[in-house]
Amino acid sequence: MKSVFPYDSVELSASGREVVILDQTQLPNQEKFLHLTSAEEIFYAITRLKVRGAPAIGIAAAFGLAMCINRFRTRSLAALEKEFLRVKRYLFISRPTAVNLMWSLDRMERCFYATKQSLGTTEDKHAIEVIRNALTAEARAIKAEDVRMCEVISELGFSLLHPGCSILTHCNAGHLAVSKFGTALGPIYYAQQQGYSPKVYCDETRPLLQGARLTAYELTKAGIDVTLVCDNMAATLMAQGKVDFVFVGCDRVAANGDVANKIGTNGVAIIAKYYKVPVYVFAPTSTIDLTSASGNDIVIEERPAFEVTDMYYTKPMAPKGVQVYNPAFDITPASLVTGIVTEKGIIKPREVKNILKKG
Ligand code: MRU
């Protein structure tokens, strides 16, 4: 599969001492890369959505943790361990909903202790070097696995499509949100490469406009037929028979098949059910969280009021001090989801519990 972009949205420099991200808050107007060199900069980049999208957040956090450990100057293994845990706990709370963040940081912690244990009583200087290398390799492996996952998911998603089909998508689950290619947008790129000429309707995705700024940008760049619509236009499109499929990404899948994704996804799924349009949720297994029994157990991030009242406007678009409710995600019940596309296969929401057992 060919990538649309000559660069990735998240990268670890060859030295392992810088995390390089494409600042997504500057898109579509400017492709500006940031070189992050501290835990605070990584934390800020994640909370302010300079890097965003569940898999990309997980990769950025793993790279950030490895980078901080590579930069931490010490001769003491105990001090290194203390710093590792400090940075891990700090990044762990940078955003609450996308489970890939916690998943990748926990994986880095398992790597730290497995490596430490394997070293026995080696002197600290040597142990520190080995642990640094192991953490850097683990973070790079998380990204490499994500690339592979996206390729597989893209091919599986493609198998659902037909030439000339039209897809409605919400938020951004493309190249920018992952390592490469995307999840919900991956099949669309693949379909284009296979000559299917897919047509995409892209919700603008209020309030932070991930659809307008990022999805429309990506798809335009790839030469895909994309039409931007406001979030309240999905019913009109479906009533006119213009949508064959809804494809969306996901931040967390609960054990019962409920899915958390960008605010507005549930509304799209409800409309799709009414108009009998299939809804596919694209979720790598790193997004499945069996400790959440249902969507009720998933923490939904609430974001600041100014994102609704002021952001992207030249003047405030609401009276000063008005109460604002700004949940960043919603839960789409399993009953509205036609299928969940994982790298291990396309499953029914009720099959989520078993998919992690599959090799
Ligand atoms: O707040 P964001 O922009 O990080 O929200 C992103 C989404 O909701 C995506 O759909 C999801 O993370 C899947 S990305 C492959």
257 pLDDT tier (thresholds 50, 70, 90): very high
Q: pLDDT tens across 92-138, in order? A: 999 999 999 999 999 999 999 999 999 988 899 999 999 999 999 99
Last residue of a domain, one of 150, 177, 201: 150
Q: b vs e for 77-115, b when ≥16 Cβ sit within 10 Å of the residue's Cβ? A: beebbebbeebbebbbebbbbbbbbbbbbebbbebbeeb
Span 297-323, mean pLDDT? 97
Residue 339: CB within 6 Å of ligand 1?
no
Last residue of a domain, one of 92, 119, 150: 150
Q: Do 334 and 197 fall within a single domain?
A: yes
Report whether 294 contacts 353 (CB < 8 A): no
Strand order in the sheet with 225-229: 225-229, 199-203, 166-169, 245-248, 279-282, 339-342, 345-347
Span 217-224, mean pLDDT? 97
The residue from 146, 203, 251, 289 that is catalytic is 251
301 in any annotated domain:
yes
**CA quadruple 247, 251, 254, 255: dihedral, nearest 10:** 80
Asked, as a colleague might, if the bond just before 28 is cis with ω within 30 of 0, I would say yes
Q: Taking the CB of residue 7, how many other CB atoms lie within 10 A of it?
A: 12
Inform me whether the pLDDT recorded for 165 exceeds 90. Answer: yes
With 0.95 as the threshold, say if the pTM is over it: yes
> How distant, in Å, are the alpha carbons of 75, 153, 269, 342 from that of 354?
45, 18, 24, 12
Work out the angle at residue 286's Cα, subtended by the Cα atoms of residues 283 and 291, and round it to the nearest 5 degrees.
100
186 in any annotated domain:
yes
What residues form DSSP beta bridges with 245? 167
Where residue 206 sits, what CATH number does that domain have?
A: 3.40.50.10470
Span 237-262, mean pLDDT? 98
3 in any annotated domain:
no
Residue 261: CB within 6 Å of ligand 1?
yes
pLDDT of residue 26: 98
Residue 250: CB within 6 Å of ligand 1?
yes
Q: Do 81 and 160 fall within a single domain?
A: no
Average pLDDT across the chain, whole number: 97
Q: Do 103 and 170 fall within a single domain?
A: no
Residue 183: CB within 6 Å of ligand 1?
yes
37 in any annotated domain:
yes
In angstroms, the CA 19 to CA 68 distance is 10
Inform me whether the pLDDT recorded for 261 exceeds 80. Answer: yes
**Structure token pair of residue 306:** 């100014």
Q: Do 134 and 170 fall within a single domain?
A: no
Annotated catalytic residue 251: yes
Instruction: Looking at the CA of residue 328, tell me the nearest atom of ligand 1.
Output: 1
Q: Output the CA 251–ligand 1 centroid distance in Å.
A: 6
Q: Do 228 and 303 fall within a single domain?
A: yes
DSSP states of 300-358: PPB--THHHHTTT-SS-SS-TT-----BSEEEE-GGG-SEEEETTEEE-GGGHHHHTT-
In three-state secondary structure terms, 203 is strand
Last residue of a domain, one of 88, 119, 150: 150
In three-state secondary structure terms, 285 is helix
pLDDT of residue 122: 85
Q: pLDDT tens across 200-220, in order? A: 999 999 999 999 999 999 999
Inform me whether the pLDDT recorded for 44 exceeds 90. Answer: yes
Choose among 109, 104, 172: nearest CA to 143: 104
Q: Do 42 and 137 fall within a single domain?
A: yes
141 in any annotated domain:
yes
Q: pLDDT tens across 1-20, in order? A: 888 899 999 999 999 999 99
Q: Do 204 and 240 fall within a single domain?
A: yes
Q: Do 258 and 343 fall within a single domain?
A: yes
Residue 249: CB within 6 Å of ligand 1?
yes
Q: Output the CA 93–ligand 1 centroid distance in Å.
A: 17
Q: Do 90 and 189 fall within a single domain?
A: no
Q: Range of 289's domain?
A: 153-355
Q: Do 131 and 21 fall within a single domain?
A: yes
Residue 46: CB within 6 Å of ligand 1?
no
In angstroms, the CA 340 to CA 332 distance is 12
pLDDT of residue 181: 94
Inform me whether the pLDDT recorded for 358 exceeds 80. Answer: no
Q: Output the CA 338–ligand 1 centroid distance in Å.
A: 20
Q: How many domains does the chain have?
A: 2
Instruction: Name the residue of 250, 253, 341 whose CB sits within 8 Å of the most ligand 1 atoms, as the mutation to test its pocket.
Output: 250
